[in-house]
Structure formats: structure tokens, C-alpha cells
Amino acid sequence: MCPQMLVALLSGCVLATVVGRGHAYSRGAPDQVCQSMTPLHQGAQPQTPGTSPFLVTPALLQAGQGSPLKLMVSSPSELTFAGFFLQARDPRDPLEPLGTFTAVPGFAQAINCASGVRAWYTKILKSHLTSVCMFQNAVTHVNSTGKKSLQFEWEPPADYEGPIQFNATFVQDYSTFWVGVLSDKVEVAKRSVDNPAQSTGISTTRAPKTSTVPAYIPEIEVKAAATDDPIYSGCGSTKSCFGAPDQCLDTKSCTAVTTVQVEGDRYTFEVKGRGAGYAAVALSDDSKMGDDSVMECARDSAQNRPANVYLSYNTDKTNARSSSQRGISFINSSYVNGEVYCRFTRDVVTNISGKIYDLEKNKYYLLLAVGSSLRAAGVSFHDVIYEASSDGYILSEIVTFASASKLLLRLHGAFMIAAWIGAASVGILLARYFKQTWVGKPFCGKDQWFAWHRILMLLVWSLTIAAFVLIFVELKSWSSEDNPHAILGTVTTLLAFFQPIGALFRPHPGSRRRPIFNWLHWLLGNMAHILAIVTIFFAIELSKAQLPEWTTWILVVYVAFHVAMQFVLSVVGCASERTTSSRVNSFPMSDRTSSRSPLSDADRRTDAPLSCFRKLLLALYLVVIIVLTVVLIIIVVLAPIEETWEKFRGT
């Protein structure tokens, strides 16, 4: 195998391996454990089912034949489960899964646990749809991301009558898992016209009989969600409103929203969050987190309410509940269809952590946050959404708060994508495979491959440094998110910063130190590129970025195309070498090995064989990379792109 082929394969494997690490964990229970429901963790034994802190809770204890039933798997506030496996079974025949999971949330997938003779028998002898759908009679996880709670919809067979019991396996980590965690029994009865099983919510105040560990069990108010949410009524006329993401108030589709209504000296707040363990609004002197009075709406079963309100305080990037809860009064709360809501009043003047907050006299920015999980005595990171208002107002004024500008944040993302998906990819490809192309046609007095490589890599350097500065101007501190994006981005920036500086000190081509320099230059450049792409993958998970999950697949397409193109060009390079009697250097860094096979003057003055084919491949590469880069920049700049697209379609 020729050197360029080896290097291309090595680079591609490293990049694909690093990028793929996020998917290297378990992607769900395999078919072979459908009956035992026991993870294949060698050397590990399951815990006693009765000690499981995780719950399986059906909405009702009665269901109609062929009628959907909602259920929830949930965890205590301080714990998450990495994996799970869930089936419905007949307690009288506990080895056979029943029914169909018809609604499955993210982080989960429906699978087929009807196998062998039984599955074939069922499919052939029963003609109705429900029996065929038994092929989705179990659900499991799709990755090892920590999960707090998931809601499912399960439909019993149309001809089944009798008890069923949900049977679950929960995996906390490799050596800690519970098998056979049971829900309360659900009685499936014949279909009736007025079937009480048509539920709209889940009440989880009742723990399963097998669980003896106290757990965080959110109480959920059972009622249908309003089609026209009353929280938006009166915005801008009788009360002040602030929603996230920006401009969501116009479409009444906010992920998080808060309102303030003033009647005399009574300040009534509402706060609501979607997909939430909590929603919170803070009063701040600026648009940044730190020294803020926070009002939390947190799911809480301890107070026999769907959610409760608390006062807390932000010190820098940390939040702690206030020892005194004086100054805030609970009115009501609800938790419907994954949305937490609280209504409460706050005193005009309060003293929080030694700081006086006067709602009548002082201007305040609003900070709005939603998170999916809670700590033992407080809220966790706002991983669902976070938004700050653009200006501060006296809350007695009726205004519609606008979101603070995210221009610097969007420019940071756009610059990094342009630098590393666009410019760096092309610059590296030119330097690696096009040294013996366009020979005798210099650009600015230099070989074309070198001139364009230098231009593109200087562009990478400039955009990276600019993006690095912009994000620190925006955040004014280190990122508080539990994500390696920040540290990987910093390392990438350092490598990119020193790479061109090191190039200024490259030895003369005839120097014995030149091969060492070439190896180091190649190594650091590829390390920076690989780290940059991995860092961009992690950016998708940042709540501030507001990027859709399917952005990952665009990056996967980029990685696959980049690696494939390097492989093809390496094959072309090997074929080109075999057509010449002396080695043709289609691999720009080939002199890092030695100078024992120097090129002849004739070889240096002519293009290497297959030059036209390489140019055609380069044209294809440029088109695809430009398209991918532009698409990613649009997604970043117009985030959240799905809501932006809906607004565009509505105009």
C-alpha cells in the first residue's frame, strides 16, 4: 500500500472513530433478551427489584380493548437511568409480551419481541391490524444519555381481556441495574362507548409495589391541554409577557413563557415551560446570569401539588434555594402534557441574600429558563432553553419583552463552521493531493496548491481567532454547560493559533530537519481539524445553540464524504505513481519520509498522470463542501431553524 493511501486511511479512521464515540454505547436491548429482560453485562448481577428507585406508572388501572393507555417511566430527582427495557405482560403468562407501543418519545425506540413460531402464528391466524402491530410490543433506549422520565402510549390487543402488568428493566450503569420492576396491574376490559381509559394525563402519586426506595414522583394534573392557552391572553395590553425562543409570543408557541400583571401593589407572575422538570424566571440587573433573584416553578409531590414555587438566588453560575421563602405566595399550578405551570404573587419589596428588590422603582431584566431535571433541593442546569431579555424595565409598566441579541453567538458558530467544515477541509485536501497539479501555472508567484493552501489556512486562522474572541465577549466567562464543547474548542483554537506560526520556521527543503517539520506540521494540522469537527458535533447539544438533533446527520454526511474523497484521491495517487518510472509526488508532504527518491526536473515541470480526473474530483468536492457549509451556517444563524421556517411559511 502506497504511503498516501495509508495516511488517508489512518486519518479517516481516526476521524470516524472519534466522531462515532458518541454512538459507541448501548443502542437498546438486543432481541435475545426479550424473554429474560436481563442485560448482557458480563460479571454483573441485577439488583433486587424491590430496591429500584425507578418507576413504571400507568395513567389508569383500567383500559379498553384496542384503546390507548398512557404510562410513564420516571426516576427520583437526583438519579437518571442510562437504559431501560419495557414490555406489557399477562401476569398469568409472564413470558409473552402483549399489545403495541403506539407513541414513543425521543431517546426510545419500539422493537419486536414476538419471535419464532408464536410470531408467525399470530401474524397468519389473526387478520386485524392490532395483532400485526404486536411486532412493536416492547420499547428500549437508543443511547446511554441520562433520562429522567419518558411517557409512552400503549394499546392492548383488540381481542384481549384480563390483567396486564408492565415489566421493566432499568440500567443506571454497567454494574447497577434492576430487572423485573413491575407496575400496578391494569385490567383490560371489553371496549365500551364511554371508556374511562381514554386518559389525557398520568398521576404518579402511587409508587409500584416492588419499589421500597423513596423516589421523586411528580403529581400530574389530569386534564386536556387548552388549544388556546390562556397564559397568552392580555399580553401587551393588561400584562407584560416574555417568551422563548424569540418572537414565539406571536404564534403562541413558546417553549418557555412568563407574564407579570400588576393590580395596585399586587404583582402576579405566571411561568410555564414545555418538556420541563422546572421553569424559572429571574430578576437581574443585566442580561447575564449572576446576582439574580430567581422564582422557580418546580415539579414537587412533597407539597401534594403538581408543582410548587420557590425563591432562589444565582451567585455567578450557581443557584441555591433561599433559606427564607418569605415574599412569594403560591396561587395554583399544573402539569399537563409535559408542560409545568405556576401562578404566584411576589411582594413589591423583598430582601434576597442581602439585596433589596423593589419592583415598583427599579428596572430589571428577565432571565427565563427551563430544565428537564431537578436536584435534591433545587433546580439543575437549564438544558431545555435559556433566554434573557434585551432590556430592563420597571415591571409595573406593560411591555412585551424582547430577547437579547444572539448576534455574537450566531457569528461564533458561523465562523467556526466556515473555518473548519469549509476552508480547512479544502485547504488540507489541496496540500495533500494536488502538489503535482497545475504545474507551471503559478498563482501570485507560488505553486497553485501552495498559494491556495496558504490563503485558506490563513482564513481558518482568522475566523477561528475571531470566533474565539466573540464567544468570550458574549459569555464574559467560561461556559457553565456540562459539555466538552468549550474545552475542546479551546484546545482546537490553541492548535490553530500556533500552526501557522510554526510554519514560519520551516527548514529549507534540503535540510535534514525538514522531514521532522513536515511530520509535525501534518500531525498538528490533522489533530486540529479532527478536534474541530468533534467540537462542532458537541455544539449540537448546547441549549444556547438551539440546533435540531438532525443537524448531527448533516455532520455525519460531511465526515463520510470527506473520508471517502480522501480514499478515492489516495487510490488515484497510487495509480498515478505506478505509471511513472520515478516516484511522482501527488502527496504534498511525501518528503517527510526522506529524500532518497528525489523527483527529476522533468517530473517537477509536468502534471502527474490522472491530473484531469483529480481536478474533476476537486470540483465535486468543492460543490458538496460549499453546499454543506452554507446549509450548516443557515441552520446556526437562523436557529431555531424549525420555528424560523414555520414563520417563513406563514408569511
One-letter-per-residue 3-state SS of 408-419: HHHHHHHHHHHH
What sign results for the dihedral spanned by CA atoms 475, 480, 481, 483? positive
- pLDDT tier at 264 (50, 70, 90 boundaries)? confident
Helix (H) or strand (E) holding 635: helix 611-637
Distance CA 98, CA 136 (A): 9
Fold of 3-19+406-594+604-650: Four Helix Bundle (Hemerythrin (Met), subunit A) (1.20.120)
240 within 8 A of 255, measured Cβ to Cβ:
no
Helix (H) or strand (E) holding 296: strand 292-299
Distance CA 18, CA 534 (A): 7
Average pLDDT estimate for 400-427: 93
* One-letter amino acid of 2: C
271 has a pLDDT exceeding 90: yes
Distance CA 343, CA 396 (A): 17
Identify the residue with better confidence: 646 or 239. Answer: 239
**Which DSSP category does 421 fall into?**
I
- pLDDT tier at 78 (50, 70, 90 boundaries)? low
Distance CA 86, CA 137 (A): 9
70 within 8 A of 102, measured Cβ to Cβ:
no
Angle at 437 between CA 433 and CA 443, to 5 degrees: 110
447 within 8 A of 453, measured Cβ to Cβ:
no
485 within 8 A of 513, measured Cβ to Cβ:
no
Average pLDDT estimate for 256-270: 92
Query: H-type helices in 244-298, by residue range?
Result: 248-251
Average pLDDT estimate for 14-28: 47
Distance CA 72, CA 309 (A): 24
Distance CA 548, CA 541 (A): 9
Question: How far apart, in Å, are the Cα atoms of 92 and each of 69, 95, 139, 164, 302?
Answer: 21, 9, 21, 9, 36
- Of the candidates 136, 195, 23, 25, the residue with the CA atom closest to the CA atom of residue 555: 23
Classify strands 240-244 and 186-189 as parallel, antiparallel or unpaired. unpaired
- pLDDT tier at 262 (50, 70, 90 boundaries)? very high
CATH 2.60.40.4060 is the classification of domain 34-189: yes
Per the listing, cell 446511554 goes with 144
**Residue 369, φ and ψ in degrees, nearest 5:** -145, 150
Rounded to a whole number of angstroms, the CA Rg of the chain reads 30
Per the listing, cell 532518497 goes with 596
Q: Which three cell numbers stand for residue 283?
A: 430578576
pLDDT value for 480? 72
**pLDDT by residue (tens digit) across 101-128?**
988 887 788 888 854 333 333 333 333 3
Distance CA 403, CA 422 (A): 31
Distance CA 35, CA 47 (A): 18
**pLDDT by residue (tens digit) across 280-311?**
999 999 988 889 999 999 987 566 678 899 99
Classify strands 62-64 and 186-189 as parallel, antiparallel or unpaired. parallel
Kindly report the pTM of this predicted structure: 0.54
**Residue 217, φ and ψ in degrees, nearest 5:** -120, 95
361 has a pLDDT exceeding 70: yes
Average pLDDT estimate for 439-445: 81
**pLDDT by residue (tens digit) across 165-213?**
999 999 988 888 888 899 989 999 876 544 444 444 444 443 444 433 3
CATH 3.40.50.2300 is the classification of domain 230-394: no
Q: Which three cell numbers stand for residue 331?
A: 396561587
Identify the residue with better confidence: 478 or 328. Answer: 328
Residue ranges, CATH 2.60.40.4060, the chain: 34-189
Residue ranges, CATH 1.20.120, the chain: 3-19+406-594+604-650
Q: Which three cell numbers stand for residue 511?
A: 535540510
3-state SS track over 146-191: CECEEEEEEECCCCCCEEEEEEEEEEEECCEEEEEEECCCEEEECC
Distance CA 52, CA 215 (A): 9
Angle at 150 between CA 145 and CA 155, to 5 degrees: 135
Question: How far apart, in Å, are the Cα atoms of 580 and each of 435, 528, 610?
Answer: 16, 34, 11
Distance CA 40, CA 468 (A): 44
Neighbours of 422 (CB within 10 A): 22
Classify strands 292-299 and 278-284 as parallel, antiparallel or unpaired. antiparallel
5 has a pLDDT exceeding 80: no
- Of the candidates 533, 503, 281, the residue with the CA atom closest to the CA atom of residue 385: 281
